[in-house]
Structure 1
Amino acid sequence: MKPVLALLSLASLSAAAPNSSPFAQDELSRRADWPNGPFVTSGRWILDASGKNVTYAGANWPGHADVMIPEGLQYQSIESIVQKIKSLGMNAVRLTFAIQMVDEIYANGGNDITIQKAFVQALGQANGTRVLNQVLAKNPQFSATTTRLQVFDAVAAELAKQQIYLHLDNHVSKAMWCCSSTDGNSWWGDTYFSVANWTRGLAYMANHGKSWPALTSMGLRNEPREPTNNAALDRSSYNWQSWYEYMRQGAAAVHAANPAPLIFLSGLSFDTFLTPVVQGTALTPGSAVFSRADFPGYADKLVLELHNYENSIGSCASLQSNLLRDGFQALQGGSGINVFPVMMTEFGFQMDASTWRGVYASCLASFLPAQKAGWLIWVLAGSYYIRSGIQDYEEGWGLLNHDWSAWRSPSYVDGALKTMVRNTLS
């Protein structure tokens, strides 16, 4: 059964309002207007339809791996997982998907496959059936004939119900754990990374996402990186000039299919720097520079995204300097600087009692809110259906514990994360 989000109409809200207090009427109006999009950008800010600043503070929820549905549903219901996100004060989720899911829909005459088939393909007959039954027990709105996209629909509906923005991210082409420079997913034209299938997949998901009220933005590709096992592709294409060509194609595909979402551009070397874009220098080996005119009609939809995993850095000052150089300078402007909203869509570390007190985690906890920069921590998942061939894989970096029932590091959540959320959104 395909889940359906029951949204109150403005008419029903108005009918309920006469017997309500002014506060209740304001709350009803706010809920009806949420998310008050589509969002646009203005300088370094993201703005809603009323012109108010919007900043993300949230977490990554993977859905791109072998099964190709959002993780954790064998342990908890979608509602309970979203409630946990909401309890932190977070307002955004980066939900990942694989182009392979869309490729299989096209190969299947336009029909998605069932989650029964998806689990069996990924985990084998016995384990796939067992985990499917666990998913159905925790999420009884589904059945064996529910499709993968219908699970994404249900997650999107629950995010909307609890008023959490959905940022949909194309993480990989071939569904698998990410990322390696030798995994065939690294660069346009790599073993599994068909440019045509990528743009087709982006357009498909952008169009499908029109039915998701929570969808406010899309990421074109996670962590573009050097294809070190493909020497010919590396020599001919791994550069800023090719990056610009492909990012323009992806952005155009998304906007043509759905003009509402913001479009996130990720950088080179595992999305760790966007310096030439920000500084307006040549996109080498060519001489062209980044120009908003190359995104006609939707230049005000572009956001820069960066990742950072400098976990062993010894100085907060050094980390801050690196972040500014790598792209966060776009928030501050200055001579020759292209000003953009910049968001850190991945950072993370071991969830234990002490790592969060170190230089890396504590520096980001102060730097990002001070910059009023949006962020999404890696990762919500306490475990994976399967990762790198290991089923029921334990995720030590997960905010949630193995069965997604509680926080893995309560000291971090209470001692730093909730404060980071509040300081970012205040």
Structure 2
Amino acid sequence: MTGFSFPLRCACLARFIFRCALVLAPLAAFFWPASASAATPAFPLHTSGQYIVDNNGVRVHLNAFNWYGSESTDFAVEGLAAQPLNSIVATIKGLGFNAVRLLWSNQMVETNPVVGNYALAANTNLEGEHALTIFDTVVNALTSAGIMVILDNHMSNAGWCCSTTDNNELWYNSSYPEANWIADWQAMATRYQSNPMVIGADLRNEPRSPATWGGSASTDWHAAAERGGNAVLTINPHLLVFAEGVNYAGDLSGVANLPVQLNVANQLVYEAHDYGFWYSSSSLTSYSTYVNDITPKWGYLVTGSNPQPLWIGEFGTCNSADTCDSSNSSADLGYWFSIFSSYVRDNNLDWSYWAINGTTESGNAGGFGTVEGYGVLNTSWSGSALPSLTSRLQSMMAPGSSNFSLIPGGTAVTLAPGGSGSATVAIVPENGFTGTVNLACTVTPPTGAIDAPACSIPSTETVSSTSAVNATVTISTTGAVARNAPAPRPLCNPSRRTGGAILACLGLIIGNFARRGRKSLQIVLMFLLVALPLAACGSGGAGGGGTTPPTGGTSAGNYVVTVTGTASGLNAVTSQIVVVVN
């Protein structure tokens, strides 16, 4: 024991710790950024129940994006002609994404061509390099930034996907048979085995007709997924294996009776894709119709009695207007996107948005370098193309606080004056919300409207599970009122008998005054000017009464019903319903 007193020793120790902190804090900030270290899982990953977890059993939520180009005839990710690779990665990281689905083709792996300089204009240091070298560089840049990588075998032949006639419908074709598919997968697994942030193998993109789940060996994607998945796991047993459904990854119904069985447990994740253009405006009319549609296809893997790990590997919407990501009309992609994003938050799903690209690849629509109409990034690859879309995606990044959303029916309510109708608003719980939601509604009329509709809604609804609760809004209008008009006052209304008497008297008078001279005859004629109309009037009856056009009632036009929901401790949530009065 030294001769220092206890308080003095504490003071010296405190000064020493403080000085160390001054020196080490900048170094720590440089080598271990707070945001990256907080989000970095303990690798390797596996599944537990319906979730992906790290080596410590902590949930890992994939907020991913698709980055395409390497699977195409450009043989490199798009964007390298617009910005330096590290700038693109920093922009993506800054938006909050933590994973990427990185596409490749069998043709790229087997031919490994030199990438054209046109695709590398902003990365001249990569000019003259082969496709796989550039792919390595991209993977390293992403994982160094803390972005996990899922490798996706997107195509056999290099090109833009997808159709039922592109010769890439199955996991193999005549140019790249199954043996090549498996060998290429094992080569990719070997190539990135030492990088723990390369976390998964998406075995094949969107198997489609004639692909089946079971059945004939030549089309049985289920059996092929088992063979391919086991081949990958023999190289790296720590990779997550993503198995997509058939019918463009929209159908995993076969899993219920024929699940994928791999030789390594807790590494399988099922994958579904979903797009707004798969639904017609007439079929997607509410949150409930959406849930009813997807539940037998893949939703049952989330909400059923035996939930399984599920990743939404592709979904996307347009980036040209705010109605792309949020709308109350089923005619807009934003209506589907509002429903989809609420479903994702409600069930805390992992996902990957299509696509991060600001511009497209060769072979797609407008060709290399043209605008990507579903892209998160702008055409210069320097920021968001549509801020509201980016914000919506960020709201889906877990973990989030418990909340709820209001999803109206997707079609307008059409009424005639005097009529009434109803609409449904779904209260969708998000991130585990339960409790009482207070509801109210108001009507906003168009300018100059008369007798606006009235609305009513239950004052409260209770959410007690992850299922949405429907509230009914009743809308009523005022009818037009028909008003009787008073009968017109006749100019005259003598009887026929009176008219005849007048004429008889006139005859006598004329005869009498004709004998008295010319002046008297003039007086008689003036009298006739007055008397004859009276006689003529006496030949008819009085005019009848009538009705005027209807007055009052709700005027024609488009009215907006705003539904507001509130709950304890949360901000108010609103939703709108359009009412058309004809």
* Common fold by TM > 0.5: yes
Which of 126, 142, 165 pairs up with 2:126? 142
Partners of 2:346 and 2:399 in 1: CA distance:
8
Q: How does 1:83-162 map to 2 (within 5 A)?
A: 83-104=90-111, 112-115=112-115, 119=116, 129=117, 131-132=118-119, 135-136=120-121, 138-144=122-128, 146-162=129-145
Q: Report the 3-state secondary structure (helix = DSSP H, G, I; strand = E; otherwise coil) of the residue aligned with 1:407.
A: coil
Is 1:309 matched up with 2:292? no
Partners of 2:363 and 2:59 in 1: CA distance:
38
Deviation at 1:391, TM superposition (A): 3.3
Which of 369, 380, 385 pairs up with 1:408? 385
State, as a whole percentage, how many aligned pairs show the same letter.
31
Q: How does 1:23-422 map to 2 (within 5 A)?
A: 24=28, 27=32, 31=37, 34-62=40-68, 63-104=70-111, 112-115=112-115, 119=116, 129=117, 131-132=118-119, 135-136=120-121, 138-144=122-128, 146-227=129-210, 236=216, 242-277=220-255, 279=256, 281=257, 289-290=258-259, 292=261, 295-296=262-263, 298-311=264-277, 312=280, 313-334=284-305, 337=306, 339-353=307-321, 354-357=323-326, 358-388=334-364, 390-414=367-391, 416-422=392-398
Q: Which has the larger radius of gyration?
A: 2
Deviation at 1:227, TM superposition (A): 3.9
**TM-score, normalisation: structure 1:** 0.78
Change (3 A) 1:189 1:142: closer
Which residue identity lines up with residue 222 of structure 1 in the other structure? N
Tell me the matched-pair count: 364
Q: Which residue of 1 aligns with 2:484?
A: none
Deviation at 1:28, TM superposition (A): 7.3
Deviation at 1:262, TM superposition (A): 0.3
Partners of 1:190 and 1:58 in 2: CA distance:
29
Q: Report the 3-state secondary structure (helix = DSSP H, G, I; strand = E; otherwise coil) of the residue aligned with 2:272.
A: strand
Which residue identity lines up with residue 355 of structure 1 in the other structure? C
Partners of 1:409 and 1:362 in 2: CA distance:
15
Deviation at 1:316, TM superposition (A): 2.0
Q: In 2, are the aligned partners of 1:206 and 1:257 still within 8 Å (CA)?
A: yes
Q: For 1:53-86, what per-residue CA distance to the aligned partner results, in whole angstroms no more than 9, with x for missing partners?
A: 0110121001211122111100012111112221
Q: Report the 3-state secondary structure (helix = DSSP H, G, I; strand = E; otherwise coil) of the residue aligned with 1:421.
A: coil
**Which consecutive unaligned segments of at least 5 residues does structure 2 have?**
1-19, 327-333, 402-430, 432-582
Partners of 2:99 and 2:267 in 1: CA distance:
18
Q: In 2, are the aligned partners of 1:187 and 1:238 still within 8 Å (CA)?
A: no
Of stretches 176-185 and 382-391 in structure 1, the one that deviates more from structure 2 is: 382-391
Partners of 1:90 and 1:424 in 2: CA distance:
15
Partners of 2:102 and 2:355 in 1: CA distance:
11
Partners of 2:382 and 2:175 in 1: CA distance:
35
Q: Larger relative contact order (C-alpha < 8 A, sep ≥ 6)?
A: 1
Change (3 A) 1:224 1:347: same
Which residue identity lines up with residue 343 of structure 1 in the other structure? W
Q: In 2, are the aligned partners of 1:266 and 1:304 still within 8 Å (CA)?
A: yes
**CA RMSD between the two structures:** 2.9
Deviation at 1:32, TM superposition (A): 11
Partners of 1:193 and 1:350 in 2: CA distance:
34
Partners of 2:26 and 2:138 in 1: CA distance:
32
Deviation at 1:235, TM superposition (A): 9.6
Partners of 2:311 and 2:27 in 1: CA distance:
33
**TM-score, normalisation: structure 2:** 0.58
Partners of 1:320 and 1:75 in 2: CA distance:
40
The structure richer in strand per residue is 2
Change (3 A) 1:355 1:75: same
Which residue identity lines up with residue 229 of structure 2 in the other structure? A
Q: Which residue of 2 aligns with 1:107?
A: none
Change (3 A) 1:17 1:151: farther
The structure richer in helix per residue is 1
Q: In 2, are the aligned partners of 1:184 and 1:227 still within 8 Å (CA)?
A: no
Deviation at 1:20, TM superposition (A): 3.0
Partners of 1:235 and 1:290 in 2: CA distance:
14
